[in-house]
Amino acid sequence: MSETVERVPPGTIHDIDAHQGWALTRHDPGPARARGVDLLFLHGMAAGGWIWPETWIGAFTGAGYCCWTLSLPGREGGGLRAGDPAVIDVAISHLLSTGDADGALAILVRSLPGASLLDGPSLDDYSDTLAEALDQIGRPVTVVGHSLGGAVAQNLIRRGRAPTGTVLMASVPPYGTWRAAAEMALVNPVLWHTLARFSLYGPAGADMAVMREGFYPRGVSNRDYANLVNNMRDESLAAMVQAAGFPPFAPLPGPRRDVMVIGGALDRIVPATDVALTAAWYGILPEIVPDAGHMLMHDEAGSGAMRRILAWLDRRAGAGRKAA
């Protein structure tokens, strides 16, 4: 059973200050023994809580964990506007149905390339949302942050609000994406250029075949990829610029036993080098899943990621019982 709680329904025109709200969905645990910690899964760039497949969530609820999926604040209800050829029709329809000329103009302005750099939420806004979600859950929580979601989780730790545990999965490194971006520009300039255009224009301005190969190096079904593309939303350039590492968003380097770092050996977005450097930052060993790409939760090889995360959670629980 799933239950979704929203703060300000996404897509409300007047909700520009709140960045169109956020949503938190509960996934009840299975009949296995109850766990003392909940899991919150936090998506990456341009995604939402929908990114986590039922099979992925089911592996954790089946192990007795109450799971939560969080959709961070988005723009215009999660739909992509940058480069959307229908945006003029949307603006006219809004004007005719409501008489709100300012709202129609706002829709057009937010469709301009780079507009989200000006009006999009920052990494701190995202971390505020995560903190509010943790408060709403009201129980010990381990956050599983994928890609940009990992940067949000690290930013929250830096601000002194560490959850019970944090799993950084194919995560933005603590020093930012600049190293991975520089490597990509040198060894895979086509993917680098495509991602840059995607950041500004969305799918309408990017070569989605290149995106598909970059995010799914071992392939993906047409159905699953269509679901991904159709649900993507504009990502905040403000947050993406901060995720590059300037200004710093992560806690200072040092051993952290409450952090797990895991990534895919075939990841072209966050290479295994950055996974290893992230683990070194936190004084731990990395978990590298063979034959897995960036989208571990969709990858057939990603079942290895599930098992490793569950094993780490069990070790954490065992250590807690011994300490008690």
- The domain spanning residue 172 has which CATH number? 3.40.50.1820
- Give the pLDDT of residue 34: 86
Residue 285 belongs to domain spanning: 2-75+121-323
pLDDT tens digits in sequence order for the chain, 324 residues long: 566 655 543 333 333 333 457 999 999 999 888 899 999 999 999 899 999 999 999 999 999 999 999 999 874 444 444 445 556 776 777 677 788 877 766 666 556 655 545 557 899 999 999 999 999 999 999 999 999 999 999 999 999 999 999 999 999 999 999 999 999 999 999 999 999 888 777 777 789 899 999 999 998 888 888 888 888 877 888 898 899 999 999 999 999 999 999 999 999 999 999 999 999 999 999 999 999 999 999 988 889 999 999 999 999 998 766 665
Total domains in the chain come to: 1
User: Is 52 in contact with 28 (CB distance < 8 Å)?
Assistant: no
| SS3 at position 182 | helix
Beta-carbon contacts of residue 35 (< 8 Å; ≥ 6 apart): 29, 63, 64, 65, 66, 317
Q: Is residue 66 part of a domain?
A: yes
Q: Is residue 112 part of a domain?
A: no
Q: Is residue 210 part of a domain?
A: yes
Q: Is residue 41 part of a domain?
A: yes
User: 164 φ, ψ to 5°?
Assistant: -60, -40
Q: Is residue 109 part of a domain?
A: no
Beta-carbon contacts of residue 139 (< 8 Å; ≥ 6 apart): 37, 38, 66
- Give the pLDDT of residue 5: 54
Q: Is residue 87 part of a domain?
A: no
| SS3 at position 236 | coil
Q: In angstroms, rounded to a whole number, what is the distance separating the alpha carbons of residues 75 and 79?
A: 7
What order do you get walking across the sheet with 38-42 strand by strand?
A: 2-7, 22-27, 67-71, 38-42, 141-146, 165-169, 259-264, 287-289
User: What global pTM score does this model have?
Assistant: 0.84
Length of the chain equals 324
Q: Is residue 181 part of a domain?
A: yes
- Give the pLDDT of residue 109: 57
Q: Is residue 185 part of a domain?
A: yes
